[in-house]
């Protein structure tokens, strides 16, 4: 859990989610602000146009001799001559002799603007929204004037225009604005994805480099990284160096302990060999047991230390070929055929060379001891696992014995030389590396040993 109580997730998703929220939020607010500004602008222009028409109507107002209002000239806008064009004017008589629509534009045809019964002050402008000709919603602007020649006959001058002349441009603008902001949002999202991908590229490179360290292709991170990542790389290199030093010290101490213990054991063994009697035989047996236990536990300690070190890599085929040459010399009197079948490429073990020799040496030595004529070694890599199969044509083992022989000190045949620790050491070492070993019956009637280890 992080400081905000949220479970840790993908850094890429966090960055993209933050960018997406910011982009959408900013563009949404921007869209509303621009639409509102444009709406106010169009409304102001709309009212300004109405005011121009009203001023023109006021300027062209005249009176006949009997006081009947009339226009000196028609207003300039041609829409006022077209029926239901959306632009109208009307003159009403107010006061005691109130008379609506004393004069009206041709565009009203046979209709009359029904205005609210308010009484604006002389020269004051009022704006209303009403239902006009053809049942269209119109915005009207009115002004009351008192002619100097007939001050007792105030007139209400009205100019009206279809509201759609104001709302349609706003609607079209909002539609185009939404499309433009949508395209901009898509472009910004793509830019954010590219930015996050480029920004996290050093981390992907770091991950790949750590994989090479883990697989044993290198012992440290050698590439240069951005300033924000380089301190982490330096700390990782320091940690790798520290672990290597710890393992080296542990191996040195284990070797010193082995020499310190084996020397007294050798002295006791030599002394017991020079004597005869029950005590000498007892001492010789216990010294041999102690030597086996020391070898066993030192092998486990060495393997446990090696497992903790990243970057371990041991080429398999050269060690297998070298081991086969040794076994052929060791069992030369039996004229055994030892065949190697290896997969293509360069299979490698992610671990210590000495541990691999210990495991494979025990398996091949056991196979040579029990084989009649042939021992076959197969090396393959399957699903990032190194699989080594050692098969002989010997008598094999019964099913109950295949598991019991992995016990420490257990030997399948007491007449055959050995300590009984070989298979136990092989299994322990393999499991320390995350692998395993199992025994199966061979097709040729002998024993088939399958050793699985991590591949590098």
Render 117-134 in DSSP notation, one character per residue: ---PPBT-EEEEEEE-GG
Mean pLDDT computed over every residue of the chain: 83
Residue 33 domain-assigned (yes or no): no
Q: Assess whether 421 and 329 both reside in one domain.
A: yes
**How high is the pLDDT of residue 100?**
80
> Could you tell me the pTM of the whole model?
0.54
Number of separate domains in the chain: 3
**How high is the pLDDT of residue 41?**
96
Contacts (Cβ under 8 Å, ≥6 apart) of 137: 129, 130, 131, 162, 163, 164
Helix (H, G, I), strand (E, B) or coil at 376: strand
Q: Assess whether 269 and 355 both reside in one domain.
A: no
Q: In the chain, how many H helices and how many E strands?
A: 8, 14
Domain endpoint, select from 130, 146, 162: 162
Q: Which of 360, 377, 381 is nearest to 437 (CA)?
A: 360
Q: Report yes or no: 145 and 158 within 8 Å, Cβ to Cβ.
A: no
Q: Assess whether 99 and 115 both reside in one domain.
A: yes
Q: Assess whether 327 and 449 both reside in one domain.
A: yes
Residue 50 domain-assigned (yes or no): no
CA distance 244 to 230: 21
Q: Assess whether 330 and 293 both reside in one domain.
A: no
* Residue position matching structure tokens 């050798």: 266
Q: Report yes or no: 99 and 133 within 8 Å, Cβ to Cβ.
A: no
Q: Assess whether 446 and 361 both reside in one domain.
A: yes
Q: Assess whether 320 and 241 both reside in one domain.
A: no
Q: For residue range 316-362, list pLDDT tens digits in order.
A: 999 999 999 999 988 888 889 999 998 888 899 988 888 899 899 99
* Residue position matching structure tokens 């009207």: 140
Q: For residue range 64-118, list pLDDT tens digits in order.
A: 877 788 898 888 899 999 999 999 999 988 866 567 888 999 999 888 888 887 7
Q: Report yes or no: 300 and 429 within 8 Å, Cβ to Cβ.
A: yes
Residue 179 domain-assigned (yes or no): no
Domain endpoint, select from 136, 162, 188: 162
Q: Report yes or no: 213 and 310 within 8 Å, Cβ to Cβ.
A: yes
123-131 contacts at long range (C-beta below 8 A, 24 or more positions apart): 125/51, 125/54, 127/47, 127/50, 129/163, 130/160
Give all strands (DSSP E) within 173-236, no chain letters.
none
Residue 286 domain-assigned (yes or no): yes
Residue 21 domain-assigned (yes or no): no
Q: Assess whether 444 and 322 both reside in one domain.
A: yes
Which DSSP symbol is given to 224? -
Angle CA 150–156–159, to nearest 5: 135
Q: Assess whether 324 and 433 both reside in one domain.
A: yes
Residue 188 domain-assigned (yes or no): no
Residue 319 domain-assigned (yes or no): yes
Residue 345 domain-assigned (yes or no): yes
Greatest alpha-carbon pair distance for the chain in Å reads 163
Q: Report yes or no: 373 and 342 within 8 Å, Cβ to Cβ.
A: no
Q: Assess whether 303 and 319 both reside in one domain.
A: no
Q: Which of 249, 282, 286 is nearest to 264 (CA)?
A: 286
Range of the domain at 286: 230-307
State which residues of the chain have pLDDT below 70.
1-9, 95-98, 119-121, 215-216, 251, 255, 258-259, 262, 292, 295-311, 407-422
CATH at residue 405: 3.30.565.10
Q: Assess whether 255 and 326 both reside in one domain.
A: no
**How high is the pLDDT of residue 148?**
76
H helix intervals, 274-398: 278-307, 316-330, 353-370
CA distance 433 to 385: 11
């Amino acid at each position: 859990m992080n400081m905000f109580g949220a479970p840790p997730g993908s850094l890429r998703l966090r960055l993209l989610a933050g960018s997406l929220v910011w982009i959408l939020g900013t563009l949404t607010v921007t869209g509303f602000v621009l639409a509102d500004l444009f709406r106010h602008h169009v409304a102001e222009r709309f009212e300004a146009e109405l005011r121009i028409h009203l001023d023109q109507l006021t300027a062209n107002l005249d009176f006949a001799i009997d006081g009947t209002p009339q226009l000196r000239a028609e207003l300039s806008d041609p829409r006022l001559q077209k029926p239901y064009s959306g632009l109208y004017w009307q003159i009403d008589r107010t006061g005691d002799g109130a008379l609506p629509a004393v004069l009206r534009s041709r565009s009203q045809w046979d209709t009359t603007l029904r205005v609210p019964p308010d009484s604006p002050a002389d020269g004051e402008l009022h704006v209303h929204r009403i239902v006009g000709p053809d049942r269209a919603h119109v915005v009207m602007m009115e002004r009351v004037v008192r002619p100097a020649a007939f001050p007792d006959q105030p007139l209400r001058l009205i100019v009206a225009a279809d509201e759609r002349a104001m709302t349609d441009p706003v609607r079209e603008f909002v539609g185009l604005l939404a499309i433009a902001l949508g395209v901009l949002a898509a472009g910004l999202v793509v830019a954010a994805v590219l930015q996050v991908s480029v920004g996290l590229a050093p981390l992907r490179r770091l991950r790949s480099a750590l994989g090479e360290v883990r697989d044993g292709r290198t012992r440290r991170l050698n590439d240069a990284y951005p300033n924000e990542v380089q301190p982490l790389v330096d700390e990782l290199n320091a940690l790798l160096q520290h672990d290597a030093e710890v393992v080296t010290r542990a191996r040195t101490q284990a070797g010193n302990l082995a020499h310190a213990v084996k020397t007294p054991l050798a002295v006791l063994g030599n002394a017991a060999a020079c004597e005869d009697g029950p005590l000498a035989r007892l001492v010789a047996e216990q010294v041999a047991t102690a030597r086996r236990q020391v070898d066993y536990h030192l092998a486990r300690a060495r393997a446990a230390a090696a497992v903790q070190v990243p970057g371990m890599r041991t080429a398999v085929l050269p060690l297998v070929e070298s081991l086969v040459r040794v076994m052929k010399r060791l069992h030369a009197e039996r004229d055994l055929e030892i065949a190697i079948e290896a997969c293509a490429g360069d299979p490698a073990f992610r671990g210590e060379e000495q541990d691999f020799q210990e495991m494979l040496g025990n398996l091949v030595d056991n196979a040579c001891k029990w084989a009649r004529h042939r021992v076959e070694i197969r090396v393959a890599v399957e699903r990032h696992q190194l699989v080594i199969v050692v098969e002989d044509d010997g008598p094999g083992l019964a099913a109950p014995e295949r598991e019991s022989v992995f016990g420490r000190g257990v030997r399948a045949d007491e007449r055959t030389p050995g300590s009984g620790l070989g298979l136990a050491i092989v299994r322990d070492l393999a499991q320390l590396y995350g692998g395993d070993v199992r025994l199966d019956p061979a097709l040729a009637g002998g024993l088939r040993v399958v050793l699985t280890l991590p591949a590098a």
